[in-house]
Amino acid sequence: MSDYNDMELMICVAARNLEDGATVVVGTGAPCAASMLAQKTHSPNLCIMFEAGGVAPILPSMPISVGDSRTFHKALLASSMPDIMETCQRGMVDYTFLGGAQIDMFGNINSTMIGDDHAKPKVRFPGSGGANDLASLCWNVMMMTVQDSKRFTEKLDFITSPGYLTGGNSRYEAGLPEGSGPFKIVTNMAVMGFDEETKRMKVLSVNPGYTRQDIQDNCGFELLWADKLEDTDPPHENELRILREEVDPHKYIIGR
């Protein structure tokens, strides 16, 4: 078995979910790396999009901003933010990746603030940016994150981006598009999906080196477990080679 770190595992495992011919809106960092890896392995025609307007670039390196020159390098389209967001709203975007300071059992995400006074937060983060838009309007939302019981919390300080809200049908009753929502959460310990009925987070597979106990101990709410709990297929040799040599040779992301 080859040696790899948490970030490399999460990127390789997330990349396998992006099928050829699909569309994905990404930010900088790990989501961009996962999408590039998918392109260089099983999904050469995965269409990578950036919210500032870049569509289907041939990325020469990792962008620093979701609008910088790299995001439309040899692209098929250099468009606008409303065009990208309206394409999401029209139902043409299959995947997106989000991050955040907190996530709850329904996949709601906080990237706005910690504290209980919005006007004077204890800690202020950037806010939604495009996260709420993508979480609302793309078909499938994914997340890659290191797991701990502070980040995976019972109650968010602020719901920046919608998951399944309070579970069940509440997301669609709120007016969010039918059939959209959180899809997979890839952590250093496990891969989670969501229960079809309750919409609660459910562990689908356990990563090498971790136990059920580790996964629950590092989660601030009670997890559901798949009937047929699987072992996560660890990163393959060729995935790691391409990730290290072609996707992120300067180790901007996998060096973390």
Active site members: 51
Which residues, numbered 175-204, are part of the site for other proteins (CB under 8 A)? 175-177
Q: Which stretch in 112-120, 139-147, 196-204, 231-239 sits in contact with other proteins by CB under 8 A?
A: 112-120
Does position 81 interact with other proteins (CB under 8 A)? The reply is yes
- Cα separation, 166 vs 181, in Å, equals 13
Q: Which is nearer to other proteins, 81 or 226 (CB)?
A: 81
What is the nearest approach in angstroms of other proteins to the Cβ of residue 255?
A: 12
Q: How many CB atoms lie within 10 A of CB 177?
A: 16
Q: Which stretch in 7-15, 146-154, 170-178, 188-196 sits in contact with other proteins by CB under 8 A?
A: 170-178
Q: Which is nearer to other proteins, 71 or 147 (CB)?
A: 71
- What region, left, alpha or beta, does residue 127 occupy, with left being phi > 0 and alpha being psi -120 to 50 degrees? left
**How far are the Cα atoms of 39, 107, 134, 147 from residue 99, in angstroms, in the given order?**
22, 11, 12, 12
Per DSSP, what are the bridge partners of residue 103? 109, 152
Does position 61 interact with other proteins (CB under 8 A)? The reply is yes
Q: 4: helix, coil or strand? A: coil
- Cα separation, 42 vs 39, in Å, equals 6
Q: 40: helix, coil or strand? A: helix
The one-letter code for the residue type at 85 is M
Q: Which is nearer to other proteins, 83 or 230 (CB)?
A: 83
Per DSSP, what are the bridge partners of residue 140? 95, 181
- Cα separation, 152 vs 30, in Å, equals 19
Which residues, numbered 128-167, are part of the site for other proteins (CB under 8 A)? 128-133, 136-137, 158-162, 165
Total chain residues near other proteins (CB under 8 A): 63
What is the nearest approach in angstroms of other proteins to the Cβ of residue 250?
A: 8
Q: Which stretch in 37-45, 116-124, 185-193, 207-215 sits in contact with other proteins by CB under 8 A?
A: 116-124
Q: Which is nearer to other proteins, 48 or 62 (CB)?
A: 62
Q: Which is nearer to other proteins, 75 or 189 (CB)?
A: 75
Cβ density class 14-40: b for 16+ within 10 Å, e for less: bbbbbeeebbbbbbbbbbbbbbbbbbb
Q: Residue 110: what are its φ and ψ, rounded to 5°?
A: -110, 120
- Cα separation, 158 vs 101, in Å, equals 10
Residue in 5, 20, 45, 60 binding other proteins, rule: CB under 8 A = 60
For binding to other proteins (CB under 8 A), which residues are involved?
27-29, 50-54, 60-72, 78-82, 85, 88-89, 108, 112, 118-133, 136-137, 158-162, 165, 170-171, 174-177, 250, 252
